[in-house]
Amino acid sequence: MAAKSIISRPVYGTLSAQPGKHHLFVADAEGALAISDLAAKVPAGFFADAHIIFIPGNDGKHVAALEALNPAQFYQGPSFASALPRLKQTLANAHMGLRLYLAGTEGLIGQAMQAALEAGIDHTAIQTEHRGSLARRVQCVHCKGITESVTTQPATCSHCGLLLLVRDHYSRRLAAFQGVCINAEDRSEIPPTEEIFR
């Protein structure tokens, strides 16, 4: 669990089945376990109206467990970017009664939510559950570039190279935490780097 933080920092819950006609799941890596946990509590036939978009990641685990739920549609993709066109089309064609469930890393939840917000779905209507890595997507406030999978504090911007303080301040619109130059006042001050978002 993330430590107590500031109000713009997202708060995640536990996936629970919502009344609805269609159920869209987007998950990566250990997010599959959140779907399995939910599956243990739902009535038979729940997944007959479900679509699962899953990005297993490097170790390729959990695919069989999700397929065994027999969802109406199952998609396995190599990256979030590759899954995004499919997600966008599904959201654009969605009718009333679609329920959205996001599970996995913060980067996955944030980017899938960003696509949902753009499709007009209110963020409070989306079920989320954080599983796995605490690595962050960080927007450099200076050059606006986004650095993926940040695990350290401070972190180097992969675009402009400034050393960034990774704040808890979070933008749903950008699906990113804010990074601000940590030694702007005196560039010779180099604070130690710690791995804290694992």
Partner 1 sequence: MGITFRKETFRDDFTFRNSPEHIRRFPFPFHEDSYMYAVNIEPHVLGPKGSVLENLIDVDEHYVAEMQDRALVLAEDPLRCQSLSHMTLAGWDLLELLMEQQALGYPEHFTLTRDGDRWRWINRPLGIDDTFTFGDVSTLPYGPMEYITRQSQGDFCILDQRDGNLWMDAGMVTTQADWSLDFDIGMNFFEWHAPVPLAHEKGIFVRALKFLTNIQQGKPARRLNWTMTINPRLDTSPENYHKWGPDRATVTPENVGEKVHLRVELQSFWRLPRSNGIVFPIRCYLIKMDELVTQPKWARRLHRVIRDLPDELANYKGLTRYRATLVEWLSKLDDGSPTSPGFGPD
Q: Footprint of partner 1 on this chain (CB under 8 A)?
A: 6-9, 139, 141-142, 144, 162, 167-169, 171-174, 178, 180-181, 184-187
Beta strands at 176-181 and 194-195: parallel, antiparallel or unpaired = unpaired
Minimum CB distance to partner 1, residue 12 (Å):
16
**Residue 67 CA from chain centroid, whole number:** 21
Beta strands in 21-126 (DSSP E): 22-28, 50-55, 73-76, 98-104
Residue placing its CB nearer to partner 1 in the complex, 42 or 141: 141
Residue placing its CB nearer to partner 1 in the complex, 133 or 153: 153
Minimum CB distance to partner 1, residue 144 (Å):
7
Do 25 and 83 contact (CB within 8 A), yes or no?
Answer: no
Minimum CB distance to partner 1, residue 160 (Å):
9
Residue placing its CB nearer to partner 1 in the complex, 6 or 40: 6
- Exposure on the CB side of residue 166, measured as CA atoms within 13 A: 25
